[in-house]
Amino acid sequence: MPNAFLDILILGLLVLVFGSIFRTRPTVRLRYWIIGWFLILIHFAVLLWSPATPFKAALAATAMLSTLLLGGVAFLLAGDRRHLGVLRGFRLIALLCGPGLLYAALTSFQYSNRLLLTGIVLLQAGGTLVAIQRLWQRHASMVRLGAMLVPLCTLWSLAAIYSGNLIQGTYADLTLLYLLNAILYWLDFRRASMGVVTAIGGLLAWAMVFPCAVAMETWFPNVSISPEIWNLPKYFVEFGMILTLLEDEIAAMALQREEYRLLFEYNPHPMWIYDEEALAFLKVNEAAAAAYGFTMEEFSRMSLHDLRPIEEKLKLECRLRELDEVSLRSGPWTHIKADGSRIKVDIASHAIQFEGRKARFALVQNVTERIELHEQLVHQANHDTLTGLPNRLLLKDRMEHTLSSAARNGEKVAVMCLDLDRFKQINDRYGHPIGDACLKHLADLLRSRLRAADTVARSGGEEFTLLLAGLSSAEDAAGVAQVLLESIRQPFQVEGYQLELSASLGIAMYPDDGSEAQVLWRASDTAMYRAKKSGGSQFVFVSHEISAAALEVNDLEAALRQALKENGFRILYQPQYATTGELRGLEALLRLEDPVKGTISPERFIPVAEESGLIMRIGNWVLEEVCRQIAEWSRHHLPPVRVAINVSPLELVRADYAQNVRRVLVSYGVDAARLEIEITETSVMRNLEDAARQMLDLAAVGVQFSVDDFGTGYSSLQHLHQLPISTLKIDRSFIERMCDEPEARQIVQAILSLGHSLGMQIVAEGVEREEQLLLLQAMECDHLQGFLWGRPQEAAVVPGLLLRGSIQREEDGPVLFSTHRSKR
């Protein structure tokens, strides 16, 4: 009994060792080994039981034999590397020991029917052969040995049955199982290591325990052998298995160490290991030596400090004091190569133990090109391509910093807006390459005349913005402005041409004319235009009137942004009628509703929207809203009508404008023929090529085009007839004067004649009096628009207009912007 306790203690401790190994390496083999040894533990636990009756004694014998059989099967299954699955696992267990378990149970309860026991033995033999074939079909030697051993053990079992020694049948099964385990162990590992030899020797000894016990009982019945001798093979097997696992672990570590060595030494990226305290290099790979130009011997005498420039050494020491993380990435750092050149690197490091000391392994990545590319992209994003000067984006940032610094130091700042006079004439006469050369000359000139602390930026086509900090008075700014204008007037040579330039300059002073960058910028821009109107080639300071105008523009921009956020815009629809009274179409007119100022007309806010860049968002909102409204009228089965929207020239020249219009039409399911786009003749002629591309693209899907304010710009019908334009709209200024001024009447008649000769429809805008109507009818004008027959209406009123389909004069309704054409 004490021996059984000792066996349980020893085997239990070894099973715990297996369990701890399994937590770090959960393999199939180890799982079945643990199951097998747990069953062996149960075998020894049963030995502690002292049954009081024959039935309990038979039950104990059954349990002891069954656990030995199942433990042997578990060891066999450990040799199959595949995941068996529950169903397949039970099938194999049934084949390997199912009949054997039944035989052990029957014989333990003294059942001795020879015919039944013989059938069970033969069934066990067949099942074992099938299981061997299924499990180890790739091991032909295992199958062959199994085919030899199974018949021998079967003969032993049959002999035991017919000799009356029934227990020996189970001994034969156990001998076969552990012999197969010994053979399989060799086939699995195939090495003569201490662990494998010990385990195989233990399994062979364990298998031979049963025939030896029979032999001793038969030939030497009086010799008593201690149970501990018979149990020794189990310990050898268990110790051998543990040694095998340790050998595998050592081999894996050695392989991993070799792989790490190869990965380290032959890696294309620089790598090194350095002492965490002294920062001395302990090991460096070939890539690091090649990348930095130092030899391995030179690296061995160096530390991290030798690679860093002086200005980064303090930063390095501070960073290293914070190294409490196992793994970290840092950078970019500047490293100095052997030839003195500098590179930028990112470093990924990991804390390790190297030759018994604290160290860090570092992987170095050269990011010089990446950083240079990033800096180049940032420079391009913040600088003008032609002149290399800061652009509006960078200028805005510098203005914010300069004004903040001036506020802290109590200094004045001058914001100057400079624009070349009559620069278009240079482009028209000499061509754009000469014009570009002039702009570069001016940029170099301005840079050379200003201090390093000042900023000069290109803020527009031929417009430059200057930022002068640290001034004590406006007189300082005036002196600089005078010098700049005189320098600009000096003649210079460009590709054989002698040219002279002049400029207009507006000056806003901080804090006298405002404290915000945007207000100062706009005020200086307004002052610059005042200088231009006064003849140019001079500078003008911001006056009270100019400051008020700049503030109003700033307020308008804020109101536009708020309207976009809170849906502060609304659209009115003004009908267009044929001169005979039939409804021809509608024009969508945009209104801005301000909580304080009330309704603001497009003449006031559209220029601000264009200057601030908000026109794109506003134009897209109008397009979406009009298409949504057209779709809603269609859903109510109202008569179809064409709706015209006004488009800014900035929208029309966008590369994706036509694509965006098509997208919106498709998203709302609107027929393209029901949308008309109104453009001004000036916007078309200013960007003829870009405008033509967008217009032809949209005309191809059915969108109509009309020219608004015709007669006030500088277009010609020769160019217009090349574009997909179907309608001309005569500007209201001619309609207002045509009844009183013969010249205006002649212009209207000329537009009608030329437009009709090109197959275009003509719309007269601003028709407010009966005599205008009669005269237009006599001239055979096609359509008219104005307060006489129709004021701008809310969308809710439009269905009634569509259902009537013809003119119904209004009496005394409210007049909306009767003195101004209220469009966007």
Does residue 551 lie within any of the structural domains?
A: no
Assign 111 a pLDDT band (cuts: 50, 70, 90): confident
Whether the per-residue pLDDT at 354 is higher than 70: the answer is yes
CATH code for the domain in which residue 681 is found: 3.20.20.450
The pLDDT of residue 686: 65
Distance from chain centroid for Cα 376: 22
The pLDDT of residue 248: 87
Specify whether the CB–CB gap between 492 and 499 falls below 8 A.
Answer: yes
Least reliable range by pLDDT among 510-519, 550-559, 565-574, 693-702: 550-559
CA atoms within 13 A on the CB side of 377: 5
Segment (H or E) for 356 = none
Assign 135 a pLDDT band (cuts: 50, 70, 90): confident
Assign 818 a pLDDT band (cuts: 50, 70, 90): very low
Assign 89 a pLDDT band (cuts: 50, 70, 90): low
- Domain final position from 251, 277, 311: 251
| Coil vs helix vs strand at 416 | strand
pLDDT of 364-383, one tens digit each? 999 999 888 888 888 888 89
The pLDDT of residue 718: 57
- Domain final position from 251, 282, 312: 251
Mean pLDDT along residues 164-173: 89
Does residue 714 lie within any of the structural domains?
A: yes
Whether the per-residue pLDDT at 823 is higher than 50: the answer is no
**One-letter-per-residue 3-state SS of 213-274:** HHHHHHHCCCCCCCHHHHHHHHHHHHHHHHHHHHHHHHHHHHHHHHHHHHHHHCCCCCEEEE
Nearest to 285 by CA among 306, 260, 316: 260
Q: Are residues 247 and 366 in the same domain?
A: no
Mean pLDDT along residues 634-659: 90
Long-range contacts of residues 471-477, Cβ cutoff 8 Å, at least 24 apart: 471/411, 471/412, 471/413, 471/414, 471/509, 472/411, 472/412, 473/412, 474/412, 474/414, 474/507, 474/509, 474/512, 474/541, 476/412, 476/414, 477/412, 477/414, 477/416, 477/507, 477/509
Q: Are residues 765 and 791 in the same domain?
A: yes
Does residue 528 lie within any of the structural domains?
A: yes
Q: Are residues 494 and 518 in the same domain?
A: yes
Domain range for 302 is 266-372
Alpha carbon separation from 613 to 22, 393, 398, 561, 608 (Å, rounded): 67, 13, 20, 11, 8
Whether the per-residue pLDDT at 630 is higher than 90: the answer is yes
The pLDDT of residue 782: 93
pLDDT of 710-731, one tens digit each? 765 545 555 666 789 899 998 8
Q: Are residues 651 and 758 in the same domain?
A: yes
pLDDT of 381-419, one tens digit each? 889 989 999 998 899 999 999 999 999 998 999 999 999
Assign 539 a pLDDT band (cuts: 50, 70, 90): very high
CATH code for the domain in which residue 421 is found: 3.30.70.270
Chain position carrying tokens 């405002």 = 514
Assign 330 a pLDDT band (cuts: 50, 70, 90): confident
> What is the domain count for the chain?
4
Least reliable range by pLDDT among 61-65, 607-611, 819-823: 819-823
Whether the per-residue pLDDT at 208 is higher than 80: the answer is yes
Q: Are residues 112 and 74 in the same domain?
A: yes
Whether the per-residue pLDDT at 810 is higher than 60: the answer is no
Check residues 763 and 709 and name the one with the higher pLDDT.
763
Q: Are residues 69 and 201 in the same domain?
A: yes
Q: Are residues 290 and 315 in the same domain?
A: yes
The pLDDT of residue 509: 93
Q: Are residues 162 and 229 in the same domain?
A: yes
| pTM, rounded to two decimals | 0.46
The pLDDT of residue 684: 67
pLDDT of 219-255, one tens digit each? 887 777 777 778 889 889 989 998 998 888 888 888 8
Query: Which pair of tokens denotes residue 688?
Result: 């003829």
Assign 298 a pLDDT band (cuts: 50, 70, 90): very high
Segment (H or E) for 781 = none
Specify whether the CB–CB gap between 620 and 590 falls below 8 A.
Answer: no
The pLDDT of residue 821: 36
Specify whether the CB–CB gap between 528 and 418 falls below 8 A.
Answer: yes
The pLDDT of residue 761: 92
Does residue 524 lie within any of the structural domains?
A: yes
Whether the per-residue pLDDT at 817 is higher than 60: the answer is no
Does residue 816 lie within any of the structural domains?
A: no
Q: Are residues 213 and 288 in the same domain?
A: no
Mean pLDDT along residues 581-605: 86
The pLDDT of residue 716: 53
Among residues of the chain, what percentage have pLDDT more than 90?
36
Whether the per-residue pLDDT at 328 is higher than 80: the answer is no
pLDDT of 38-78, one tens digit each? 898 888 888 888 888 889 888 988 998 999 999 888 888 88
Q: Are residues 279 and 232 in the same domain?
A: no
Does residue 260 lie within any of the structural domains?
A: no
The pLDDT of residue 820: 31
Mean pLDDT along residues 114-137: 86
Nearest to 95 by CA among 67, 65, 124, 75: 124
Check residues 25 and 668 and name the one with the higher pLDDT.
668
Does residue 763 lie within any of the structural domains?
A: yes
- Domain final position from 208, 227, 251: 251
pLDDT of 251-282, one tens digit each? 888 888 888 888 888 889 999 999 988 889 99
Assign 815 a pLDDT band (cuts: 50, 70, 90): very low
Least reliable range by pLDDT among 267-271, 303-307, 610-614, 757-761: 610-614
Whether the per-residue pLDDT at 329 is higher than 80: the answer is no
Query: Which pair of tokens denotes residue 155?
Result: 């003969």
Does residue 150 lie within any of the structural domains?
A: yes
Buried/exposed 539-554: b ≥16 CB within 10 Å, e otherwise: bbbbeeebbebbbebb
The mean of the pLDDT values for the chain is 85
Q: Are residues 503 and 564 in the same domain?
A: no
CATH code for the domain in which residue 335 is found: 3.30.450.20
Q: Are residues 367 and 392 in the same domain?
A: no
Contacts of 367 (CB under 8 A, 6+ apart): 331, 332, 344, 345, 346
pLDDT of 467-486, one tens digit each? 999 998 889 999 999 999 99
